[in-house]
Amino acid sequence: MTSAGARRPPSLDVVRRTLAAEDAYTLSRLKVLARIPGNPVGVAWHAVDDGTIAMMAENLPSPSFNSVRGLRSGHEGHIAPLVAWYREHGVKARFELVPGLADAGLGRALHRLGYCASEFHTSLIAEADPAPMPNGAAIDRVTGADAMEDFLDAYVAGWEFPPQHHDQFKANVRPWLHEPGWSLYVARLDGRPAAAGILHLHDKVGYCADSATDPAYRGRGLQTALLARRWQDARAAGADLLCSGAAFLSASHRNMERLGMRIQFTRAIWTECTTS
């Protein structure tokens, strides 16, 4: 990573590296689910070409798992077959268009098939040295089964999963502890698991993913502390780039900027238009 005083403007090479890290993480999550006997989640994916991937979790309505990423100028001909693939499986898909890679032709092709830009998601990066850890929070890297249960308790509370789904979700994702390139973190307050976050390393890029805080502990700096710890660990592992994402101007976005991350781009999320 460069020093804080040597910030460079984003480049398409950096954009491609961060997108590859995001896709590697999401595909890793899908592969964990695909290994459940019988594939009850209905996981499928295929590469359109190098750097462009379509992912599906037929029985899990998670937007990130049912998305097409990496479409570029000249890919208009891929869109109709992909829309047909998702509709055949009854899946509400989304197409993510990234500035610098996508162009108006992709938007026109999506619009003709009933899609419109419905939301925007900001990618943030850091190439500088890690931010210092804030005081007050205990951040532990998960290395054993007991800590994994604390991580999962904080995770389901932070994402506010319905209680009736907790046991099944935890059973499905306990393999996260042993996934290559993954590091799991739990933040504690007063000895209690209060927040969780994930760091995924891919090709010297550290991707900070899936942070969540138990509502009872929000507003106490846990997400900032988790981000700082993962930034430090990514640097120590040899990463020269850190990235993450958030809804534009959300609390997560603001936390990242306060620690020194900066906007790389804001992608447009295209979903099927609805009429009232």
182-194 per-position pLDDT tens digit: 999 999 998 899 9
Say how far apart CA 1 and CA 261 lie, in whole Å. Answer: 12
Cα distance between residue 239 and residue 1, in whole Å = 7
Q: Are residues 95 and 173 in the same domain?
A: no
Residue 3 φ/ψ, nearest 5 degrees = -75, 160
Are 165 and 229 part of one and the same domain? Answer: yes
- Domain-embedded: residue 222: yes
Query: Is residue 182 a contact partner of residue 176, using CB atoms and an 8 Å limit?
Result: yes
Which two three-digit tokens encode residue 259? Answer: 């620690």
- 68 contact partners, CB below 8 Å, separation of at least 6: 48, 52, 53, 54, 55, 82, 93, 94, 95, 96
Q: Is the pLDDT of residue 251 over 90?
A: no
pLDDT of residue 6: 52
> Is residue 262 a part of any domain in this protein?
no
Has residue 193 been placed in a domain?
A: yes
Specify whether the CB–CB gap between 186 and 149 falls below 8 A.
no
Q: With a threshold of 0.75, does the pTM exceed it?
A: yes
**Residue 7 — pLDDT band, cuts 50, 70, 90?**
low
Is 255 contained in some domain? no
Examine the domain organization and report whether 19 and 77 are in the same domain.
Answer: yes
Cα gap 67→267, rounded to integer Å: 13
Q: Domain range holding 45? A: 12-122+267-272
181 lies in the same domain as 219: yes
- Domain contains 147: yes
46 is a domain residue: yes
Structure tokens at 54: 């379509």
- Identify whether residues 16 and 112 lie together within a single domain: yes
The mean pLDDT value for 146-163 works out to: 96
Looking at the 3D structure of the chain, how many domains does it have? Answer: 2
Residue 6 belongs to a domain: no
Q: What is the mean pLDDT of residues 137-151?
A: 94
87-111 pLDDT per residue, tens: 999 999 999 999 999 999 999 999 9
CB–CB of 44/68 below 8 Å? no
